[in-house]
């Protein structure tokens, strides 16, 4: 039988959030946290399945009281860890999180308090700036995650200046079609391509080109969301084919390795990228790992972007 080789786990450890971002709807859900014992068991099983990267996400992941425990466990299993936070809780948790997060992302969508807070729906700009200072003071190198939309794209130059001033990477993440959002315009995407060599700016050139080309084609899908990415919900379900278009929820109940070999997962794999809702999809958290599985222009553009990220972050 054909084997699956997942690369990444997107683990939704909470659906609680202390922000009200205009481009996200998770705060409208009834907020719940993952049960700690379930997470710890699943981490062991994810390791057995060969997972290399784990993104503890939500919601706001710092709201889960046992996040530090999860990170420690993942690191002990030699997984690379990712956290994206709105930073409201980072100043008080920074020391206990030190050294446990390989890719620490601070969400920042405008260079001033009025615009950033309007997008985030809460007053958090000052927390971002304070968190940058705290993180740097304890030897952390956070990235600034800038979700760029038509409404805030005029801030790009100022956002680059802030990143360069602090010698931190600005990850420019074009908004994708979901929750009533429209995909980033072709014009904006082409403008972003002009910054492919700008110091301390990371744009995934593979994703940008893929979006310009129209995204996923259901007749010849580029998506490998099931093959590459395990998605686990806060209530301990395996979500197929992805979080954003979940069509099937399978209770894990300590049975993840067996579930991953099941016919349900094989069927979902055969349909990845072929559903009606997959047409023109370009959700980066699934296509970035998907690009690894076929060597084409998107693969190479994505890899070149990662080389630049590494140079800017660790060498420049």
The whole-model pTM stands at 0.94
Tokens of 136: 């740097």
Domain map (residue ranges) of the chain: 8-314
At 254-280, the pLDDT tens digits run 999 999 999 999 999 999 999 999 999
pLDDT for residue 26: 67
| Local structure of residue 97 (DSSP, 8 states) | H
CATH of 8-314, one of 3.40.50.40, 3.30.60.50, 3.30.2130.10, 3.20.20.70: 3.20.20.70
pLDDT at 217 over 80: yes
CA torsion sign, 195 to 197 to 198 to 203?
A: positive
pLDDT for residue 2: 43
Burial 169-184 (b: 16+ CB within 10 A, else e): bbbbbbbbbeeebebb
pLDDT at 281 over 60: yes
For the chain, report the end-to-end CA distance as a whole number of angstroms.
46
pLDDT at 142 over 60: yes
Q: Is 228 helix (H, G, I), strand (E, B) or coil?
A: helix
Distance CA 29, CA 48 (A): 32
- pLDDT, average across residues 177-191: 81
Residue 181: pLDDT band by 50, 70, 90 thresholds?
low
pLDDT at 4 over 80: no
pLDDT for residue 137: 98
Distances (CA, A) of 210 to 196, 215, 278, 281: 15, 5, 14, 10
55 exposed, middle or buried (CB, 10 Å; 0-12, 13-18, 19+)? buried
At 91-140, the pLDDT tens digits run 999 999 999 999 999 999 999 999 999 988 899 999 999 999 999 999 99
Distance CA 80, CA 271 (A): 29
């Amino acid at each position: 039988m054909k084997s699956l080789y997942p690369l990444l786990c997107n683990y939704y450890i909470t659906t609680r959030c202390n922000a009200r971002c205009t481009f996200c709807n998770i705060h409208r859900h009834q907020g719940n946290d993952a049960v700690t014992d379930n997470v710890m068991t699943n981490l062991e099983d994810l390791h057995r399945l060969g997972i290399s990267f784990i993104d503890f996400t939500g919601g706001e992941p710092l709201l889960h009281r046992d996040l530090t425990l999860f990170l420690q466990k993942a690191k002990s299993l030699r997984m690379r860890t990712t956290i994206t936070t709105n930073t409201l809780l980072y100043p008080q948790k920074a020391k206990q999180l030190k050294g446990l997060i390989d890719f620490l992302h601070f969400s920042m969508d405008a260079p001033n308090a009025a615009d950033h807070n309007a997008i985030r729906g809460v007053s958090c700009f000052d927390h971002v700036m304070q968190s940058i200072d705290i993180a740097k003071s304890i030897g952390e190198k956070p990235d600034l995650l800038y979700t760029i939309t038509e409404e805030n794209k005029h801030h790009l130059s100022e956002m680059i200046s802030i990143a360069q001033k602090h010698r931190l990477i600005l990850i420019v993440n074009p908004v994708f079609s979901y929750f009533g959002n429209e995909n980033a315009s072709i014009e904006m995407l082409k403008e972003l391509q002009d910054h492919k060599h700008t110091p301390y700016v990371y744009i995934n050139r593979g994703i940008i080109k893929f979006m310009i080309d129209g995204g996923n084609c259901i007749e010849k899908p580029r998506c490998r969301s099931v093959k590459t990415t395990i998605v686990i919900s806060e209530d301990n379900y395996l979500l197929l084919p992805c979080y954003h278009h979940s069509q099937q929820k399978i209770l894990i109940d300590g049975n993840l390795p067996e579930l991953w070999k099941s016919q349900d997962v094989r069927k979902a794999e055969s349909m990845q990228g072929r559903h009606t809702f997959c047409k023109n999809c370009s959700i980066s958290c699934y296509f970035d790992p998907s690009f690894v599985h076929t060597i084409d222009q998107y693969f190479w553009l994505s890899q070149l972007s990662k080389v630049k990220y590494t140079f800017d972050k660790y060498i420049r």
